[in-house]
Every structure is written in structure tokens, then in C-alpha cells.
Structure 1
Amino acid sequence: MTESGFTCPKGLDNQFSPNLYVANCGPAVGLSFDIIKSVFGTFGEVMGVHAADNSGARVIVCFHEVTAAQAAIKALNGFPCPALRGRTLHIRYSVPRQQKVQSDYSLPVSLSASELATPGIHLVHEFITAKEEEELLAAVDIRPWKILSKRRVQHYGHEFLYETRNVDSKQFLGELPSFVSHVLEKIMSFPGLDENNSKLMDQLTVNEYPSGVGLSPHIDTHSAFDDLIFSLSLAGPCIMEFRKYPEGTWKPPDDVIVDKVSSSQCSTFARKAIFLPARSMLLLSGEGRYAWHHYIPHHKIDTVGDHVVRRSSRRVSFTFRKVRRGPCCCKYKQYCDSQMVR
């Protein structure tokens, strides 16, 4: 490892890089960075010269172009260089060192719904193909987005009103777009659903999350939507956490971001998490839909088992729901806005 943030691993000789590790060269042997830059600059634009370590006799030369580094290593490696006091240089390609990254997310992450073991929550991997994913993303990217504080959204069928966390059931935007027809067909045959539960979805919210942006803990308003909520993940993965609060205990307001929770707070509610890969479809129903807050941590890096997973530059979710006509009569009264005592 080097002080400059570069490394010179063995076996890199055949892997070209615009950065060169140069030994027998530096202030300790009477060569200033300016002189080194001038000499190497005859092969191409030099972006910088840095100390490779604390010895003063090894440097990193960073070119703008790989071809310049190739020319320099061919001309100078192993040969005395008159312009550098006749010193024989030993040169290898160098690369930026890999930073050790860790997520502060310590909750165990399930890879399947059966492992999560929460009633009403189901997950199907590879629900659509990579080609279908590409087509869905292209379809929304040519349509206008509504800008929120940290993400962009599109609404179809009915617009979701974030101020009231509800929809205006009287304001109909039209049928769901044709580009999701094949997704709706697959939803109708989703594993575990019977004909009575397979109601036609009539509301779609498309969310685009930049890397590091998540979702505040919340339960979708009971009176706004029926039992089934489907969420299709596109373009990138994420972790979704579920939290259930015992009856009569505090639960976080839906508009408050709760990312890091103290151990004393953790003891007041159950926590579970599941990994949602790209192209997977998540179903929230029953207890999982009505009684568990769902939440996407605001991280750029997630820990899944022994693996560190970086969030992609964007994640796009397609959330399909059916607008409820009338009050909710579920058995989870603590969380039900239709049945709460005011």
C-alpha cells in the first residue's frame, strides 16, 4: 500500500493503467517532483506526481491517458535515465487502492420471504427478465417526472397525495399504461393468491431513488388502498426493513426518517429485514401490509450476510395498488386510520 492512495499489486504488469509506480526516483535521491513531472511529461500529460510511501525514493506518476503511461514504461523501465541523474528506474503499473467499506447496518438480512417469516410478505426473484426491466425503465424515462425533495416520482391511475398520504379517489388519471400490461398479467398469477384476492390493480406509483436515498418508515394508509401492495424493484437492489410495534407503544410518525435507532428504542419493536434484488417482486398483504412499518435505510452500502453490496446509481420501484372504496375494516385497529379512536 502507498501513502498516496495507490497500490502496486503483484501481477499487474499486464493490466494497463494511467498510473505508474516508479522506484529509485524521488526527493531522497535528489529528484524533485517538478523534475520528475517534466521528464515523464514528454510522454503525455501528467496529472500529478505523488510520494508512493515515506521513503522519498518511490513515487506515483499519474498520466491523463493510459497510452502515455505505456510509452513511459516502455522507454524508461530498467534503463538509466540521463535526465534523472542517470538513475535506473523500476516501473510498474499502479491502481487506486481499494478502500475498505463497511455498512453500519447490523440487522441480519433475509434473502427470501420464508426466511423472513412475516405473515403476508412474499418475494419472487427474477419476476421479470432483464429485457423487460430495460423496456420498463425506457418507458418511464421518456415520461415526465414529478420532483420531490430527494427523489422523482410518476403516478398513474390515481395520484398519491404526499401531504395527506392518501389518494383522491374521485380524480381519475386514466387506465394504467400499456407498458405495464405484462406485469399486471403476471401479478394475477402471483404465488399464494386465490381468485378472490387477485383484484385488478388501478394505481401505480413509480419512484426513482438515487444512491443513498431510502424511504421513511411507514404503513401505507389503510383507507387509501386495499389489501394487496406489489412492489417491483428495477435497476438496483436495496434492503427493506420491517418494524412492528407492540400495542400501546410508541411508533415513529410516518414523516420522520428513523435511520439509526438506539438500543433502548430497538427493544420496543420487532425488526426484520430482507434483501430486494433487481427484478424482484415484493408482495405486502395481510399482517405484513397492515401492521408492519416498512422502511428502506438511507445507505449507499448494505451488508448482506458476509457481502458488502453497493447501491447502484439509481433504483426504480413500480408500486401497484388498488384504491379502496370505503373504510378499512381490518383487524389491526392500532394502525388503521379508519378505526382509530380520535
Structure 2
Amino acid sequence: MTTCGCKGVRSCLVCEHKEEPRPALPKATVQFHYNHHMGLAVAEMGTEVSGKCQLALLFPGVFLWTDFLTPQEEKSLALMMDKDEWKPSQSGRRKQDYGPKVNFKKQRVRAAGFSGLPSLSQPLLHRMNQIPFLRDFNPVEQCHLEYDPSRGSAIDPHLDDAWLWGERLVTVNLLSTVTLTFTRGDGELVEVRPLEECVDKSKNASDSANDGFVSTSKSRPALSNIGFDELSAASDGHQPLNVLFVRTTDSIPECSGSTKRLAARDVCVRLPLPARSLMVLSGPARHKWLHAVRREDVCARRLCITFRELSPAFCPGGVHESEGNALLQKVQSFCDGPVS
């Protein structure tokens, strides 16, 4: 590949010059690693902040469904995506867009050329709608991104738009595991405490219906046979799934003497996203923490599918209700080509 889609300060290995290296992103002072099984972000021991005590940070707003797809479903889905043209995008990525044309600066939406989501998404939506948290999820935009280490693919820290796009950002990760990095640029204080306290609190609250932390194992719903039969055939309806749901509120126990407060700008959370998994960002993880994929964390080709729903302004009773209704009607017709 000899061309790229980089603009402004963004760059990739295709357009960079050896004498003008890409400036390094700032590194946070304290690094936490998100633990899928505990639903906590845990700091390494031996740092200046943690010392001999392993500290943990409650990180609300992350929903992870590991093994959302089987290996055969993943392979078939990637083959179907590769049948459509990949277009150059920023920072070494390539993309396929299915959704309205949007000018976020001027807050304008144009539905011309948008005829619906791709047919391959229909069985995926059917499966994710089987769980209560996503039962009412109706996306109007679907974006496919390709990351490749040979191009130095990455995405800089950012918050997704909240004018048009709603509360939940849903991503399906394919082909390789990647690590997301969450950071903040503000000085608001975040509280961390010894890991043992966080684990004990999680255990003590696990029987409460309002706890917000759920870990279950059940049968994966079979994919609908609408859209792509090869994926439906690959699922026998009895595959195990793992759903790990982190607290969705900022509520934490009263501070103890062992609690530490750190400036948010000095903290980063590293979240491994396994291949074939589904992740939902909402709440603080969606609106407060910038998320990024660093170049050094892309070790193999990676595809991802991100679904976005409408914000309240485009839903019934909102100021842009009519525009939202028009988009929702288009979504009902599944198409077979990205928006040009």
C-alpha cells in the first residue's frame, strides 16, 4: 500500500519520514491493568504509589462478553468484510462505513447514500439483543476498521461524539487481541484502594440486585440464519459464553485510611480486548475516559465492528426526533455495500 488517509498531525508508517519521527504520546504516572475476572483495574506492585500494596481502581461502564463468536464465525465474518472495499483512513487504519454522513462541527446529518446496515450485521444484532443490557439496542451506524502493524495502525485518545451517538458504544473485536488504553486530561481526583478491600466489597455486594457486577455462564444464543448462513451453521446454540459486567455507577464505599487519591491525568487503564469478544462502553468509560489503541499494541491484523445508537436528542421527544425516525426506518433495510 503506497497511500494513506492521514491528515493534520496524524501519521502512519506509510507517510512518516525517518527524520521526522511521530511524537510519542504522554505516559501516565500510574498504570492500571483491567482484570476481566474481577471487574477492577489493578496497579502493579512496587510502584511509588502502590509500594508493597496492590491497589485497585473501580472502572465503571465496561461490559465484556468474551467468546461472543466462535472461531469459525470469526473467520467467516472476516471473509465477508473483505469482500467490500477498504478505504484509507487516519493513522494507518482502513475503514468501511455504513451510516449517515455527519458533520460534527456543524452538527448536521445527511442520510443520502445510506440505505441501511450491512446484511452481515443482522445475526450479530439478533445475538446481542438476547441479553437484557442490549435488548433495546438499535444502532443506526456501523463502522468497520482494519488495523495492520505493517502500516503502524493506531487511533489517538478520543471521546466519541455524544450529540448524535447515544449512551452505548458496542464493538466486536476480530482476528487478534488488542489492548485499549484509557486516559484523562483533567485533574479530578480518582480514588484507589488496596485490592483486598475492593475484592471483599465486590464479594459482599454480589448478592445485591443493585450491585451492578454480574458474572455468568450460560449458552450462547444461536445466530439467526438471516444474513449469512455460514455463520449460523457454525453455531450449534450450545457454546459457552462468558459475560463480565463491571459496575455501572461511581458509587464506592466510604473512604478508609488506606484509600489514596490520584489526579486523573496521572492515571491510565490498560484493557485487553480478546479476539471474538464484544465490548460495550457506557457511563464514565464512555464519557470521561478517552480511549485509544497505541501503535505498539497492534501486533497482528485486527478487524473491529463498532455499532452506535442514537442520542436522546434524536429519539422520541427529542429536538431531532424526525431525523432520528428517518434513520431508524433506513436501518430496517439491510444493504450489501458501504456508504461511498
Could you tell me whether the CA contact under 8 Å between 1:122 and 1:282 is conserved in 2?
Answer: yes
Residues 175-184 or 274-283, more deviating: 175-184
Could you tell me whether the CA contact under 8 Å between 1:158 and 1:204 is conserved in 2?
Answer: no
TM-score of the pair, normalised by structure 2: 0.51
Kindly indicate whether residue 275 of structure 2 is the aligned counterpart of residue 278 of structure 1: yes
Any residues of structure 2 matched to 1:293-308 within 5 Å, and which? Answer: 293-299=290-296
Give the number of the structure with larger relative contact order, counting CA–CA contacts within 8 Å between residues 6 or more apart: 2
Equivalent of 2:141, from 203, 225, 243? 203
Match of 1:118 in 2: 59
TM-score of the pair, normalised by structure 1: 0.51
Any residues of structure 2 matched to 1:86-97 within 5 Å, and which? Answer: none
Letter of the 2:80 partner, please give it: A
- Distance in 1, Cα, partners of 2:116 & 2:296: 35
Letter of the 1:322 partner, please give it: E
- CA, structure 1 residues 160+118, in 2 after alignment: closer, same or farther (shift >3 Å)? farther
- Distance in 2, Cα, partners of 1:286 & 1:266: 19
Cα drift, residue 111 of structure 1: 3.9
- Distance in 2, Cα, partners of 1:278 & 1:165: 36
Kindly indicate whether residue 214 of structure 2 is the aligned counterpart of residue 227 of structure 1: no
Equivalent of 2:303, from 312, 316, 329? 316
Match of 1:39 in 2: none
Letter of the 2:142 partner, please give it: L
Letter of the 2:145 partner, please give it: N
- Distance in 1, Cα, partners of 2:73 & 2:66: 14
- CA, structure 1 residues 160+188, in 2 after alignment: closer, same or farther (shift >3 Å)? farther
- Distance in 2, Cα, partners of 1:237 & 1:165: 36
- Distance in 1, Cα, partners of 2:106 & 2:183: 19
- Distance in 1, Cα, partners of 2:74 & 2:172: 10
Superposition RMSD on alpha carbons, in Å?
3.2
Q: Deviations over 1:63-113 (max 9, x none)?
A: xxxxxxxxxxxxxxxxxxxxxxxxxxxxxxxxxxxxxxxxx9993432417
Aligned residues: 196
- Distance in 2, Cα, partners of 1:174 & 1:267: 42
Any residues of structure 2 matched to 1:152-163 within 5 Å, and which? Answer: 152-159=94-101
Cα drift, residue 322 of structure 1: 1.3
Q: Deviations over 1:116-151 (max 9, x none)?
A: 342111111111111111111111111112212411
Runs (5+) with no aligned partner, structure 1? 1-103, 250-264, 302-310, 329-342
- Distance in 2, Cα, partners of 1:228 & 1:110: 19
Q: Please state whether the residue corresponding to 2:76 is helix, strand or coil.
A: helix
Match of 1:107 in 2: 31
- CA, structure 1 residues 160+319, in 2 after alignment: closer, same or farther (shift >3 Å)? farther
- Distance in 2, Cα, partners of 1:136 & 1:111: 28
- Distance in 2, Cα, partners of 1:165 & 1:292: 24
Cα drift, residue 248 of structure 1: 7.7
Letter of the 1:173 partner, please give it: F
Runs (5+) with no aligned partner, structure 2? 1-26, 42-57, 190-261, 316-340
- Distance in 2, Cα, partners of 1:236 & 1:165: 36
Match of 1:261 in 2: none
Identity score, percent:
23
Q: Deviations over 1:135-172 (max 9, x none)?
A: 111111111122124111001132466x8597725346
- Distance in 1, Cα, partners of 2:130 & 2:106: 29
Could you tell me whether the CA contact under 8 Å between 1:206 and 1:319 is conserved in 2?
Answer: yes
Could you tell me whether the CA contact under 8 Å between 1:241 and 1:274 is conserved in 2?
Answer: yes
Could you tell me whether the CA contact under 8 Å between 2:143 and 2:307 is conserved in 1?
Answer: yes
Match of 2:205 in 1: none
Could you tell me whether the CA contact under 8 Å between 1:246 and 1:269 is conserved in 2?
Answer: no
Cα drift, residue 325 of structure 1: 6.2
Equivalent of 1:151, from 93, 106, 110? 93
Q: Please state whether the residue corresponding to 1:299 is helix, strand or coil.
A: helix
Cα drift, residue 268 of structure 1: 2.7
Letter of the 1:238 partner, please give it: V
Letter of the 2:306 partner, please give it: T
- Distance in 2, Cα, partners of 1:171 & 1:326: 20
- Distance in 2, Cα, partners of 1:300 & 1:242: 13
- Distance in 2, Cα, partners of 1:247 & 1:107: 16
- Distance in 2, Cα, partners of 1:193 & 1:235: 25
- CA, structure 1 residues 281+243, in 2 after alignment: closer, same or farther (shift >3 Å)? same
Q: Deviations over 1:248-287 (max 9, x none)?
A: 89xxxxxxxxxxxxxxx98734321110111111100122
Letter of the 2:97 partner, please give it: H
Any residues of structure 2 matched to 1:1-342 within 5 Å, and which? Answer: 107-112=31-36, 114-116=39-41, 117-149=58-90, 150-159=92-101, 164=105, 168-171=109-112, 173-190=114-131, 193=133, 195=135, 198-211=136-149, 212-246=152-186, 268-299=265-296, 311-312=299-300, 314-324=301-311, 326=313
- Distance in 2, Cα, partners of 1:228 & 1:122: 10
Letter of the 1:285 partner, please give it: S
- CA, structure 1 residues 165+277, in 2 after alignment: closer, same or farther (shift >3 Å)? farther
- Distance in 2, Cα, partners of 1:220 & 1:288: 11
